[in-house]
Amino acid sequence: MDDIKTKKSKKLKRPLRSGYTTGACAAAAAKAAAQILLLSGAGLEPGGEVEIPLPGGKRARFKLHKSKFSSDAKRAWASVIKDAGDDPDVTNGAEVSASVIFTKDEKSSQTIKGGASVVIKGGEGVGVVTRPGLPVAIGQPAINPVPRRMITEAVLEATLRAVEVTISVAKGEVLAKKTLNARLGIVGGISILGTTGIVKPLSGAAWKATIQSSMKVARAIGLQTVALSSGRTSERAHMQKFKLPEPSYVLMGDYVEYSLKEAARQKFGQIHICAQWAKLIKIAMGTPDTHVRSGVIDANQAADFLRDELGIKIPVRPYNTAREMFDYVSIRETKKVCAGAAAYGERISGLPVTAFLVSYEGKIIADNE
């Protein structure tokens, strides 16, 4: 559906609820398992709660989902269920677990306190990094630096002995197929993420972080062109026609200005922008964030822009959606919209930009060149 509308979006009847990151869940599971191990199986049981410190200084409580203790293996295991609040996170409801064993005092990249050390490993459902440009080295489990610190601090609240912690995510490999992990070079599962421990509902922070990470991977392997698309359909259309290396493709979604500035900051040589009609008009109009939450653009305002600014002759009449206008515009005239979008992109990024219009059937039908 076109996102240029004439009606205001309905307001939610209640405040959106925050949740917790996979990193916070992993830390909670790890602390619970460490406590169970320390007490040889006593203490926490399913339904009980474990409290952990968060990076910002606050604390959070998690309900234990499952737990077990093996006296033979001297290993404890605990899990929590991720609650992402009202954020549409693919890992919402995932079971995040940790197994903990005592070890000899090993050298660790993690914080060492009072002679204790925490070695962190990735288990089933946690991806492995295979490309440069990410905050974790190639060959290491995709557990980001802040979650590693969270896990360490949480475990050290439970025990000051040397331990090895293995983080796992049930069905993580399946969940990863719904993410951009494969494109980033993370294989075999999901990433353990989060910088604050808290997921803010519908926040763009996670999306922007993915945009930045995607670009870092592309630059780290020497790519000079980044293809920014507003959605999967536009991205697939560009892939089919140009067949750039997969890491070249970055889903910018609605974050147009952010993506353009990030591409400039990471010193790409050129930018491709791919979008369907309504989004491309918004970009040509100089809209930094094309989501309706950032301000609904009246369809008739868009029609005036096409006529007055781009010289596209469409009938003077009321319009409900941008798609209605498309029926009056020739392919030759759509190139003017592409040119407007490219001009905006170049003004923001300072880089050469080519803009591509993708049809509703998922094919590139025009560009500004």
CATH at residue 59: 3.30.2110.10
- Picking from 179, 199, 219, the residue at the C-terminal end of a domain is 199
Please check whether residues 103 and 233 belong to one and the same domain. Answer: no
pLDDT of residue 110 exceeding 80, the answer is no
Q: What is the mean pLDDT of the chain?
A: 88
Residue 280 lies in a domain: yes
pLDDT at 3: 42
Please check whether residues 40 and 157 belong to one and the same domain. Answer: yes
- Picking from 144, 166, 199, the residue at the C-terminal end of a domain is 199
Residue 119, strand partner residues: 164
Please check whether residues 126 and 242 belong to one and the same domain. Answer: no
CA distances for 328 relative to 57, 312, 313, 324, 351, angstroms: 57, 9, 8, 8, 32
pLDDT at 154: 96
Q: Which domain holds residue 220?
A: 207-367
Please check whether residues 255 and 347 belong to one and the same domain. Answer: yes
| Sequence letter at residue 130 | T
- Picking from 164, 199, 234, the residue at the C-terminal end of a domain is 199
Residue 6 lies in a domain: no
Please check whether residues 35 and 55 belong to one and the same domain. Answer: yes
Please check whether residues 34 and 109 belong to one and the same domain. Answer: yes
Residue 8 lies in a domain: no
Please check whether residues 113 and 219 belong to one and the same domain. Answer: no
Please check whether residues 143 and 245 belong to one and the same domain. Answer: no
Q: Determine if the pTM surpasses 0.85.
A: no
109 pLDDT band (50/70/90 cuts)? Answer: very low
Domain total in the chain: 2
Give per-residue pLDDT as tens, 39-59.
Answer: 987 767 888 999 999 998 899
Residue 14 lies in a domain: no
Please check whether residues 248 and 179 belong to one and the same domain. Answer: no
15 pLDDT band (50/70/90 cuts)? Answer: low
- Degrees, nearest 5: CA angle 366-183-343: 30
Please check whether residues 179 and 115 belong to one and the same domain. Answer: yes
